[in-house]
Amino acid sequence: MLVSENPKIKRALISCSDKLGLVDFAAGLQACGVQILSTGGTRRHLLDHGLECIDVSAYTGFPEMMDGRVKTLHPKVFGGILGRRDNVSDLRSMQEEDISVIDLVVVNLYPFEATVARPDVTPEEAIEQIDIGGPSLIRAAAKNHQWTAVATSPEQYSSILSAVQEDGCTSLALRRKLASEAFSITCSYDQAISNYFQAQTTTEDLPSKLTLTLERKNQLRYGENPHQKAGVYRLAKSTEAGVVNARHLHGKELSYNNILDLDSALGIARSFAQPAVSVIKHNNPCGAATNEDLATAARNALDGDPVSAFGSVLGFNRTIDSATAEVLCEPGRFIEAIIAPDFEAGAVGVLTTKPKWRDNVRLMQVGQLQNQKKTPVAVRFVAGGALIQESDSLPSFHSQWETVTDVPVDEDLWEDIDFAWEMVRHVKSNAIVLARDTSLVGVGAGQMSRVDSVEISIRKAGERCEGSVLASDAFFPFPDSIQAAADAGVVAIIQPGGSRRDNEVIDACNDFGIPMVFTGARHFKH
């Protein structure tokens, strides 16, 4: 039997929840002589725009029922989609049962994810947004892509219509591509439903199975190094305010390392309620500050480690105004990228015209920083699997803190102690930070020995160490670091506690007249 490998598209089934671009697409198909079958709301939408279409119920001889739950689930529909054009038995069955060939299926699914994202959604509303016929139609067409084309997104309409207008048919390569995208759609949809029900029913701390659906947003020039291929992917349907969903206002394209640093910079800034600025270099903070005046916070953050801040990435939790932009453009500064909720027009003007690096600086606008409703899950891949954990977003419970020294904490120091404890969670272990006037003045990060981290943070702080407070992400195993901190002028220490030698460390603090606070919680960041 001689059958064209690219059959002409003569009949299309259209049933869409998202009507974007549908009228123009259907009109274009109809102008090419394509007959249209349609259902319910989609058919009414097309008729309202003057397009002729056959009701699926009229074609099947079976009425739509149960409030639309049953309308396309019929052998005359699925036989027309799944029938193989080069199979004698299939063709005979179609002829005997009066089944017409359906060459194109245009379907997108009920908005389940958008529905369950609403805070007031009820279980009944969620269940009604579980599409049954749609995924079945999509999978049937994708399975039979040797003969049947499937469109699942308005973004695909132009390529399909162009092919039909030019050749009357689609190519096998296009149908195969559409089928691949269709299976990804149904997989993601089913996973969203599964995730919803797991969240509603599980009693476990973590799900027994976790499937992540990621869609590529951009192909990057390379990864951490030029010999590594890389891309940035977005969680399907994600709208979270962050670097992946940010609007790129100005500057060169982002690199792999830029994205990592911008994510860290924003993560630090958004953890503070008051205006905050963070300065990131090689994915560690080299400066950070809070202040009611954003420009002052920016200057203090950049002055935390001016040498390291050269070529850094900055994160803000407030809209950047012109005064703050002027601080960023002061002589001697060089900034790679800036991420913030928004930029005033005047600030954009300053940043893109004044400094020498004006043409290259990346400006990323993320919009309003919402409060996290749930603790996000952090995933790290290891050979053969992955590690899953809740992100370290545990709030500080002051009621559980304990001043363990005989020396009390001066009331004027609590603001710096709070700031230092919040900052230390963002620094790679072993982590030590020094803070003064709610500004980061010294950081010791990623060292194999805690005493090395203490010494590095003291060296970085220099004269500013005098009168600073010290935070450690985990307990001090020996009192040697207390000696070094006291010699440098540290006036208070906050740490988790929990060492077998806690008493020795406490005694050392008492000897030097330094108050020490135990939090009972640690902040390792490997």
Average pLDDT, the chain: 89
Only one residue has tokens 């304990």, namely 402
Residue 117 has pLDDT above 80, yes or no: no
SS3 state at 131: coil
DSSP string, 273-342: SS-EEEEEETTEEEEEEE-SSHHHHHHHHHTTSHHHHTTEEEEESS-B-HHHHHHHTSTT--EEEEEES-
What mean pLDDT is predicted for residues 24-33? 92
Q: In the CATH scheme, what is the homologous superfamily, with its name and number, of domain 228-365?
A: AICAR transformylase, duplication domain (3.40.140.20)
pLDDT by residue (tens digit) across 224-242?
999 999 999 888 667 788 8
Look at residue 380 in the predicted model and tell me its pLDDT: 86
Look at residue 2 in the predicted model and tell me its pLDDT: 45
Residue 396 has pLDDT above 80, yes or no: no
Least confident of 53-67, 272-286, 469-483: 53-67
Q: 448-458 burial string, b = 16+ CB within 10 Å, else e? A: eebbebbbbbb
Say if residue 195 is exposed, middle or buried (CB neighbours under 10 Å; 0-12, 13-18, 19+): middle
pLDDT by residue (tens digit) across 55-111?
888 887 777 767 666 767 788 888 989 988 888 888 888 888 888 889 999 998 888
Residues with catalytic roles: 143, 282
Residue 27 has pLDDT above 50, yes or no: yes
- 153: DSSP letter: S
Neighbouring residues of 269: CB distance < 8 A, sequence distance ≥ 6: 276, 277, 278, 288, 315, 316, 317
Residue 471 has pLDDT above 90, yes or no: yes
Look at residue 215 in the predicted model and tell me its pLDDT: 80
What mean pLDDT is predicted for residues 515-523? 91
Q: Which CATH number is 400-518 given?
A: 3.40.140.20
Residue 201 has pLDDT above 90, yes or no: no
Given this chain, do its domains 11-201 and 400-518 carry the same CATH topology?
Answer: no
Nearest to 475 by CA among 441, 431, 513, 510: 431
Would you place residue 255 in the very low, low, confident or very high pLDDT band (cuts 50, 70, 90)? Answer: very high
Percentage with pLDDT > 70 across the chain: 96
Residue ranges of domains in the chain: 11-201, 228-365, 400-518
Look at residue 202 in the predicted model and tell me its pLDDT: 63
Interstrand relation of 104-108 and 11-16 (parallel, antiparallel or unpaired): parallel
Look at residue 68 in the predicted model and tell me its pLDDT: 64
Look at residue 112 in the predicted model and tell me its pLDDT: 81
Residue 496 has pLDDT above 80, yes or no: yes
Q: Which of 134-138, 231-235, 394-398, 439-443 has the highest mean pLDDT?
A: 439-443
pLDDT by residue (tens digit) across 123-135?
888 888 888 888 8
Look at residue 194 in the predicted model and tell me its pLDDT: 82
Look at residue 3 in the predicted model and tell me its pLDDT: 56
Model's pTM, two decimal places? 0.75
Residue 494 has pLDDT above 90, yes or no: yes
Extract the tokens encoding 50. Answer: 């003057």
Percentage with pLDDT > 90 across the chain: 57
How far apart are alpha carbons 1 and 401 in whole angstroms?
82
pLDDT by residue (tens digit) across 356-375?
999 999 999 999 887 654 55
Would you place residue 1 in the very low, low, confident or very high pLDDT band (cuts 50, 70, 90)? Answer: very low
Would you place residue 204 in the very low, low, confident or very high pLDDT band (cuts 50, 70, 90)? Answer: low
Would you place residue 280 in the very low, low, confident or very high pLDDT band (cuts 50, 70, 90)? Answer: very high
Residue 521 has pLDDT above 90, yes or no: no
If one compares 214 and 355, the residue with the highest pLDDT of the two is 355
Look at residue 375 in the predicted model and tell me its pLDDT: 55
Would you place residue 413 in the very low, low, confident or very high pLDDT band (cuts 50, 70, 90)? Answer: very high
pLDDT by residue (tens digit) across 152-172?
999 999 999 999 999 889 999
Q: Which CATH number is 11-201 given?
A: 3.40.50.1380
